[in-house]
Structure 1
Amino acid sequence: MCVMVAETLLPSASPVRFVAEDGTPAGRHGAYAEPPESLLKEAYRLMVLGRRFDVQATALTKQGRLAVYPSSAGQEACQVAAALVLNEHDWLFPTYRDSVALVARGLKPGEVLTLLRGDAHCGYNPAETRVAPQCTPLATQTLHAAGLAHAMQRRGEDGVALALIGDGATSEGDFHEALNFAAVFKAPAVFFVQNNRYAISVPFEKQSAAAALAYKGIGYGMRSEQVDGNDAVAVLAVLGDAVKHAREGRGPVLVEAHTYRIDSHTNADDATRYREAGEVERWREADPLKRLETYLKGREALQENEIEQFKADAETFAQSVRDALNAEPELDPMSLFDHVYAEPTRQLEAQRAMVHAELEA
């Protein structure tokens, strides 16, 4: 019996794939059902929007409007799919690199980029958006996701928590604690690892000796899967199934997406110091956006006029990003004290009074 249970937890021997690099159908998807064309088309639209957003945000760092921006170019299939598989009652736990996922979730660009601009710790209301603050420390949000998923479960809520993490985060203790807790309590959580091959400058082969990061879930008694992260069709199919599995009370799921970070770690990084140009070009050929476009056009599900309209809409959106970031922020120094304690302490009140007096002087 133990062997049979273990086999149900095992990921596919090779990453699940519906579409090859050239946009033609690939039959490596087992029992997974292909998502409907309407969902694939929406994914394509959001990927076009997300890529233009990413380019615009990168440019804003060079103009001094953002302090830093971690690009997710090349990871659009993962970013968009993570937003599309959730409903409005589910929770998303993003990292600093997941701005495109937040845009796909429907958050305003000015709010998404507030943290990276340095105006505040979070530019949106997590309770209203059901999106946790973008997490900079590696893997800490996995514990938050596991705990919130368990809380929803105890309240009888029909919700799922999806945590986005990078390959580097799987080496952190918080990641393993979160998986263990979620598996023990069968929390409705999905842990989505975007394995983009590098933890800043550390390549995957120097991070883990595992055949794939997906296998790390088995030791905790958690269903696991691996998917071609540049195949939007496959990512939507696998993630959608994982969310369904968690929502039905069958326990958490670990999904690893094999993808690639095309740009440097951030605008402050020089990736040429640790990556060869040829490697980057090989991954450019596996572009998730071009792959999905070719696939949909081949099925006559996407027309040239629609592509042009999506691009035009993305340009309009980019203008809204520029407008939001070019507007000077309205700063209130006294807001520093607003969310320290539910009930301010005497010391905090004294500090508030001191700052107020200095501002009034």
Structure 2
Amino acid sequence: MKTVEGPEPTMESRSHAGVVESTLPKHQLLDERGAVTEDDLLSPYTQDITVDDLQHLYRSMTKARRVDEEGTSLQRQGQLVLWVPLKGQEAAQIGSTWPTRPTDRLYPSYREHAVAFERGVEPSELMRYFRGHTAGGWDPEKHNLNLYTVVLGSQAPHAVGYAMGTALDRKAAEDAGTPLETELEAVVAYFGDGASTEGEVHESMVFAASYDAPVLFFIQNNQWAISVPFATQSRVPLATRAAGYGFEGLRVDGNDILAVVAATRYALAKIRRGEGPVLIEAETYRMGAHTTADDPTKYRKREEEDQWGLLDPIERLKEHLRTAHGVADSFFETVAQENDDLARRMRADLLAMTPPEFVDRFEHVYAEPHALVAAERAEYLEYQAGFEDASDVHGTAAEGVGA
């Protein structure tokens, strides 16, 4: 197995006292030049991946990046309230979503755009959320993908609770003498290195271990929690924390699509066998800002960004497709054109959107009618009507003056 290291630590990392080097290896299957390497643990989980599969993965990764670029432009033009870039994390997101089954439930945070697209969510649905027209954007039951959460780390206990519920349902069926024929449904909880320091994440891992919940904790370690470098957040790789809870943790090169796919397949196989939770730390890099409200030039060096830019996950897979499989330039040109066409359609859809009426918000507070909400709705309508009355009065007075 080839053990790999990321770029040299930043100045902030070097100055952090007590950083401990871990003996936990970082798995890699595609090196920085797109050449295949061997890994004793993960290589067996890629044997059935075809050129068509690799081309699909490339399409998915480049689609996510093109939508991301368009999202940033739309926000800068005042068409979105906010945008959360994902550039650089495409391999981590696509590589962990593609091996899941449609029946597996995924719990994202707020940067998992590539996860959403791979699950069938339309880019326009996502844009509606960031335009402020909806509190959700898509049907969670249709895609088995929970809605985004902006409360840091709160998706982890949601995911573990759901996973515990599915496991307890299965046990109840077995106890009743009617065991389910299907394998365990897997649940994936996505969060970043910053959220890993939240109490909800710690508590979630305690419960997951105690109840052998069928959940995969997938951490995208993109090196920065807004402006706080990873070395300030943890003195060890996050994957090593899993041992403290009593389950397995893996470190993978998060810019290596094959390694992420293989690690996810390995973890899901364990989970479906009823062996409890698994943690994967995908070590990647947030190439853009934390959000469009952020300026990363205030806290990190251009040299660091350039160094990580050489490890671009899309360029790595592109080089592999060219050199190992002889994929012609025409394929990449076609994909680029498809992505540009998608971005244009998405922009047109967004500009044609009409905002919902505020009064409609009262219909979505509870599933059933509620007396208090009804009273507040009536109060709001009365308040609005007052402005209309004032307009009528001023209009009449103005007409009198003109006469």
TM-score by length of 1: 0.92
C-alpha distance after superposition, 1:72-110 (max 9, x if no partner): 101110111232121111111111111122112210112
Secondary structure of the residue aligned to 1:66 is coil
Give the superposition deviation at 1:249: 1.5
C-alpha distance after superposition, 1:202-239 (max 9, x if no partner): 001111112x1001111111111010000001011101
Q: Which amino acid aligns with 1:318?
A: A
CA contact (8 A) 2:45 2:265 kept: no
After the TM superposition, which of the residue ranges 68-77 and 350-359 deviates more from structure 2?
A: 350-359
Secondary structure of the residue aligned to 1:217 is helix
Tell me the equivalent position of 2:176: none
Q: How does 1:22-41 map to 2 (within 5 A)?
A: 22-28=33-39, 30-35=41-46, 36-37=49-50, 38-41=52-55
After the TM superposition, which of the residue ranges 299-308 and 51-60 deviates more from structure 2?
A: 299-308
Secondary structure of the residue aligned to 2:38 is strand
After the TM superposition, which of the residue ranges 143-152 and 32-41 deviates more from structure 2?
A: 32-41
Give the superposition deviation at 1:28: 4.1
Secondary structure of the residue aligned to 2:331 is helix
Q: Does 2:192 match 1:166?
A: yes
| Structure 2 residues not aligned, in runs of 5+ | 1-21, 171-181, 389-403
User: Which residue of 250, 253, 256 corresponds with 1:225?
Assistant: 250
Q: Does 2:254 match 1:243?
A: no
CA distance in structure 1 between the partners assigned to 2:70 and 2:215 by the alignment: 32
Tell me the equivalent position of 2:18: none
Give the superposition deviation at 1:29: 5.1
User: Which residue of 318, 330, 336 corresponds with 1:293?
Assistant: 318
Tell me the equivalent position of 2:17: none
User: Which residue of 120, 127, 142 corresponds with 2:134?
Assistant: 120
CA distance in structure 2 between the partners assigned to 1:117 and 1:321 by the alignment: 13
Q: Does 2:51 match 1:44?
A: no
CA distance in structure 2 between the partners assigned to 1:55 and 1:64 by the alignment: 15
Computing the radius of gyration over CA atoms, which structure comes out larger, 1 or 2?
2
Give the superposition deviation at 1:190: 0.6
CA distance in structure 2 between the partners assigned to 1:281 and 1:309 by the alignment: 28
Q: How does 1:182-197 map to 2 (within 5 A)?
A: 182-197=208-223
Q: 1:12 to 1:153 in 2, by over 3 A?
A: farther
Tell me the equivalent position of 1:85: 99
Q: Which amino acid aligns with 2:143?
A: T
After the TM superposition, which of the residue ranges 180-189 and 157-166 deviates more from structure 2?
A: 157-166
Q: 1:65 to 1:251 in 2, by over 3 A?
A: same
CA contact (8 A) 1:263 1:271 kept: yes
Tell me the equivalent position of 2:29: 18
Tell me the equivalent position of 1:130: 144
After the TM superposition, which of the residue ranges 78-87 and 163-172 deviates more from structure 2?
A: 78-87
Q: Which amino acid aligns with 2:150?
A: T
Give the superposition deviation at 1:276: 0.6
CA distance in structure 2 between the partners assigned to 1:323 and 1:152 by the alignment: 41
Secondary structure of the residue aligned to 2:37 is strand
Q: How does 1:1-361 map to 2 (within 5 A)?
A: 13-28=24-39, 30-35=41-46, 36-37=49-50, 38-156=52-170, 158-210=184-236, 212-300=237-325, 302-359=327-384
Secondary structure of the residue aligned to 1:254 is strand
The alignment's C-alpha RMSD in Å is: 1.7
Q: 1:116 to 1:227 in 2, by over 3 A?
A: same
CA distance in structure 2 between the partners assigned to 1:350 and 1:26 by the alignment: 65
CA contact (8 A) 1:18 1:29 kept: no
Give the superposition deviation at 1:257: 0.5
| Structure 1 residues not aligned, in runs of 5+ | 1-10
CA distance in structure 2 between the partners assigned to 1:213 and 1:155 by the alignment: 31
C-alpha distance after superposition, 1:126-174 (max 9, x if no partner): 1222111111121100000101111122233742111110000110000
Give the superposition deviation at 1:31: 4.6
Q: Which amino acid aligns with 1:247?
A: R
Give the superposition deviation at 1:358: 4.3
After the TM superposition, which of the residue ranges 67-76 and 333-342 deviates more from structure 2?
A: 333-342
C-alpha distance after superposition, 1:32-75 (max 9, x if no partner): 42520233221111111111111111111111111111111011
CA contact (8 A) 1:54 1:100 kept: no
After the TM superposition, which of the residue ranges 101-110 and 212-221 deviates more from structure 2?
A: 101-110
Q: Which amino acid aligns with 2:115?
A: A
Q: Which amino acid aligns with 1:164?
A: Y
CA distance in structure 2 between the partners assigned to 1:60 and 1:258 by the alignment: 29
Secondary structure of the residue aligned to 2:160 is helix
After the TM superposition, which of the residue ranges 35-44 and 255-264 deviates more from structure 2?
A: 35-44
Secondary structure of the residue aligned to 1:226 is strand
After the TM superposition, which of the residue ranges 26-35 and 294-303 deviates more from structure 2?
A: 26-35
Tell me the equivalent position of 1:5: none
CA distance in structure 2 between the partners assigned to 1:29 and 1:122 by the alignment: 42
